[in-house]
Amino acid sequence: MEFWLEQKCVTPNTLEILLQSFIFVSIAVAGVHMIGLEQAPTAFLFLIGLPSIPFLLKIFQCEVEIEEKKGKFLGSSVLARHYGAFRVLAAFFLGLVLAFTFWYLVLPEQNSAMLFQTQKQELKSVQGVLLGAALNVADAFEKIFTHNLQVLLFVIVFSIVYGAGAVFILIWNASVIGVFLGEFSKAYVLSGGAGVTGVFGGQVTGVSLGLLGILPHGIFELLSYLAAALAGGILSAAIIRGDYKSQIFPVIIYDIAKLLAWAIVFLAVGAFIETYPLG
């Protein structure tokens, strides 16, 4: 017996989700400039998460409206049941990355430095960890996997306790990636990469090259965090709705367990890919 999402909830298309997340970040950028950039590190992510949580909570609520039906996607009934929400989370995250990268490049240097100071500190910390791991390849995988596993656990806990609370961790990771891509793009332009295309063309090329650099391992880490956020959000929504008393709750638990198993596997694959070049 298989189950399928009941067609009561209509999720927005990918372009609408990208635009929505871009608008959320843009409003937050304007907000912290009004409040004062001195408050940016604490207020910025909160202003993005505030409108994001109701939007994602609705998606998770839709995920537990299940009825009996047959169907598979890419050979998986679990993926078929939750593909819609997974697509929403992925598009939302991508929109955040694009927005953070855009504003990091567009804002005046002094403003972006203040607005993204915490993210820049995080990048320096990550680079230090990777450099230390490069000197001791045997510990590289363990360090990277353990660090990412801690993030994964936070995603799960935040999702269960706050419903869509994991959105803050997704926003944080998207902001760090956006700053990395922005820094990479600026370095590329300064090194003469702009060429005949001009500064804008050089920035686009720099962002593309930076994205290609992190894509091999980054895609697996992203899949891991999205799967964990989805699992925790579904469980939280099911408990709130009282679905633990219904006959579909075992199916929900099965889906959650499988999503979490995928999350750990994706995380291990990503850590392995990230470790390999260090050797």
**For the segment 70-83, what is each residue's pLDDT rounded down to a tens digit?**
454 444 677 777 77
**Phi/psi at 8 (nearest 5 deg)?**
-105, -25
Q: What percent of the chain has pLDDT over 70?
A: 75
| pTM of the predicted protein model | 0.81
Q: What's the pLDDT tens digit per position in 215-237?
A: 888 889 888 888 888 888 777 77
Distance between CA atoms of residues 232 and 256, nearest Å: 8
Residue of 56, 22, 44, 275 lying closest to 165 (CA atoms): 56
Whether 102 shows a pLDDT value over 90: the answer reads yes
Question: Helix (H, G, I), strand (E, B), or coil: what is residue 17?
Answer: helix
> How many other CB atoms are found less than 10 A from the CB of residue 78?
19
Q: Which residues pair with 164 in a beta bridge?
A: none
Q: Is the dihedral of CA 60, 66, 72, 78 positive or negative?
A: positive
Q: What's the pLDDT tens digit per position in 127-147?
A: 665 555 555 555 667 777 887
Q: For residue 82, give both structure tokens.
A: 């939750």
Q: Which domain holds residue 42?
A: 3-278
Q: Is the dihedral of CA 173, 57, 43, 156 positive or negative?
A: negative
Residue 279's pLDDT is what? 46
Maximum distance among all alpha carbons in the chain? Answer: 65
What is the tally of structural domains in the chain? 1
